[in-house]
Amino acid sequence: MTVTINGNGAVTGFTALPDAAMSTGSIIQLVAGSTNSRVTTSSATFVASNLTASITPRASSNKIYVQVSGDGNTEGNARVMYITLYRSTDGGSNWTDLGDSSGNDAGFLQLYGASSRIIVPVCFNYLDSPNTTSAVSYKVYVRANAQIEYPANDGAQYAYIHLFEVAA
């Protein structure tokens, strides 16, 4: 079989398997989002970043594997930044925090520079079971004990979110 990708990105010479023929764990689709527009906050409660993406699962039993990457900037010493992931299944009216179920509001990860400012890459992954065939949106949120930035350099570096639909 010869597979060709033309100048517009269209694929020819390839026949995709129907969803029913996909084995468990197969990647059905991939959606990506990115931003290079930072959010600066010193809020003690989570605030939305500009990093978001949406996907419409083909079967309610399928999983969504979420991969987030970017960089965080604590902007000073003794500052803590928390990063988490929220999900909406109703078009963005209601958002649910998918991180830290302990009630500590710590999210998926934290950055802390005890005696210095730190700018570091961050990455986390999450396997979600949204149980729907409606559009599912994911958005990264941040909070801090003092002013921080995510992604760190406005206009220069990007943060990314990838959503993979995985056959169940």
* The two three-digit tokens of residue 121, written as one number: 């890459």
Which strand (E) or helix (H) includes residue 141? Answer: strand 136-144
As a whole number of angstroms, the distance between CA 113 and CA 78 comes to 6
Q: What is the CATH number of domain 19-166?
A: 2.60.120.1340
Predicted local distance difference test score (pLDDT) of residue 90: 95
pLDDT higher than threshold 70 for residue 45:
yes
What's the mean pLDDT in 68-88? 94
List C-alpha distances in Å: 52 to 32, 38, 147.
Answer: 9, 13, 22
pLDDT higher than threshold 90 for residue 1:
no
Predicted local distance difference test score (pLDDT) of residue 97: 94
Confidence class for position 102, pLDDT limits 50, 70, 90: confident
Quick one: which of 69, 61, 68, 67 has its CA closest to 25? 61
Predicted local distance difference test score (pLDDT) of residue 10: 60
Dihedral, 18, 20, 25, 28 alpha carbons, nearest 10: 30
Instruction: Domain ranges for the chain, please list them.
Output: 19-166
Residue pair 153/59 in contact by the 8 Å Cβ criterion: no
What's the mean pLDDT in 59-75? 95
Mean model confidence pLDDT for the chain: 89
Phi, psi (degrees; rounded to nearest 5) at 74: -80, -10
pLDDT higher than threshold 90 for residue 8:
no
Write the pLDDT tens digit of every residue in 105-148: 889 999 998 999 999 999 999 999 999 999 999 999 999 999 99
